[in-house]
Amino acid sequence: MTKTAFNSEEELVRQLKLREEQAFQHLYENYSKSLFTVICQLVTQQDAAEDVLQQVFIKIWKNIHSYDVTKGRLFTWMLNIARNQAIDFTRSKEFNKVGKTVPLGDDVYIDREGSSTKPRDVGLNKVLETLPEESRKVVELSFFRGYTHQEIASILQLPLGTVKTKIRSTIQELRKRIFIKDN
């Protein structure tokens, strides 16, 4: 099949809305690796993550007519679908059979080409290690595991307001620490 180049995102979206197979193939070839990386941050089992990725592209195909270019970029829209699909999977009965307590492995940060984007490579792990245990835990549960604030409150047996405050203050502290190191 001949590879078709799309001159703009708008043209790609227009072709997708016309159900052009080449447009969908272009979309998959150019965005699947990025979306898979996001999914793997929440779904650590390779086979399950691949299934979620397939569901994401089916959802994109079925719902492309709901994409509104005035509300954001196509990639952002797809990224939200991927993240939500991964979170939905982690809350499913199927995932609960496997267990939620599987630690986030380093291999989820390696794309299919073998390049690595591990948090430690950008210094994030070192910064996270400097935080108090409770602060580190809420960030891990929220951002790396995809738990809601209510779920974190239940897991840590803390009031919901305390969890929200802890997340907000931890993010502010991380920003300070990261920006200080950049100067």
The verdict on residue 89 lying in a domain is yes
Within a domain: residue 68? yes
Q: Say yes or no to pLDDT of 177 above 80.
A: no
Percentages of the chain per state (helix, strand, coil), in multiples of 5? 75, 0, 25
pLDDT of residue 123: 60
pLDDT at 30 over 90: no
Read off the pLDDT of residues 140-161 as tens digits, 9 standing for 90 and up: 888 777 778 888 888 888 898 9
Tell me, what's the pLDDT at 10? 84
1-22: average pLDDT:
77
Q: Are residues 104 and 135 in the same domain?
A: no
Is 1 inside a domain boundary?
no
Q: How many structural domains compose the chain?
A: 2
On average, the pLDDT of the chain sits at 78
Q: From CA 120, how far away is CA 6, in angstroms rounded?
A: 36
Percent of the chain with pLDDT over 90: 12
Same domain flag for 102 and 135: no
Mean of pLDDT values over 33-57: 90
Phi, psi of 116 (to 5 degrees): -115, 140
> Domain span at residue 40?
9-109
**What residues have CB less than 8 Å from 134, skipping those under 6 apart?**
156, 166
Please report which confidence band the pLDDT of residue 52 belongs to, taking 50, 70 and 90 as the band edges. very high
